[in-house]
Amino acid sequence: MNILKLIEKRYTAKKYNADKEIPQEKIEDLKEILRLTPSSINIQPWKFTFVQNPEMKAKLASVSMHNEEKINQAKLLVVFSVADDLDAFQKVVNNELPQARKDWYNQIKASMPESDLKIWFSKQVYIALGVGLTASAALGLDSTPMEGIESDKYMTILNMKTYKPLFAMAVGYGSEDDFNRIEVTPKSRRLLENVIETI
């Protein structure tokens, strides 16, 4: 399927088939795809937590506002977290990045307030969400992006110290009676001429 047909077909699942398992090889592919996500200066200020354990997933679901049911039904929850402790992330930069990238990052870090640096980091994680949603569709999976999570409670449940959850993505197979399926609720977007300018 070409990429246009894939995006035309993709929808945000509102209800999942709780009985249909995701083949583990698809989950492993999704992990590698997220790892390969592009970021500004290839800084990669993120962590992706794949939650398949039903008990842990239920704990996170309970602090996910209106998304609780979807998370409990879906077979996989991916939590997208951003580097929040800049001192700890500096060690990542020093230990894992080549010298040229270290120098580039250190120049950027020195030139902006900490709050702006954290906003820049967060923007990179949103790139990964777009990749994850598209990749899920390419793998024949349905997904739901969710900003509706209680980030601090996610941190506690996942025992995170240096990263902060920003949002999550439920992944699985949409239920046949999901009202948001394309066949039931056609995709609705603004007209191309109103959102695309060609110069």
Pairing of strands 76-83, 46-51: antiparallel
If phi > 0 it is left, if psi is from -120 to 50 it is alpha, else beta; for residue 11 that is beta
Instruction: Measure the CA–CA gap between 154 and 61, rounded to whole angstroms.
Output: 10
DSSP 34-53: HHT---GGG---EEEEEE--
pLDDT 10s digits, 40-52: 999 999 999 999 9
Which residues contact residue 158 at a Cβ distance below 8 angstroms, ignoring those fewer than 6 apart?
49, 60, 79, 165
Asked whether 157 and 60 are in contact (CB, 8 A), the reply is yes
d(CA 77, CA 60): 9
Instruction: Place 81 in a pLDDT band, splitting at 50, 70 and 90.
Output: very high
**Residues 142 and 173 sit within 8 Å (Cβ to Cβ):** yes
pLDDT band at 1 (very low <50, low <70, confident <90, very high): low
Per residue in 102-123, pLDDT (tens digit) is 999 999 999 999 999 999 999 9
Closest CA to 102 of 111, 92, 112, 113: 92
- pLDDT, residue 151, reads 98
Contact 125, 46 (CB under 8 A): yes
Tokens of 167: 């949002």
Tell me the pTM: 0.96
The confidence band for 20, taking pLDDT boundaries of 50, 70 and 90, is very high
Domain boundaries 3-195, corresponding CATH code: 3.40.109.10
Place of tokens 């949103």: 126
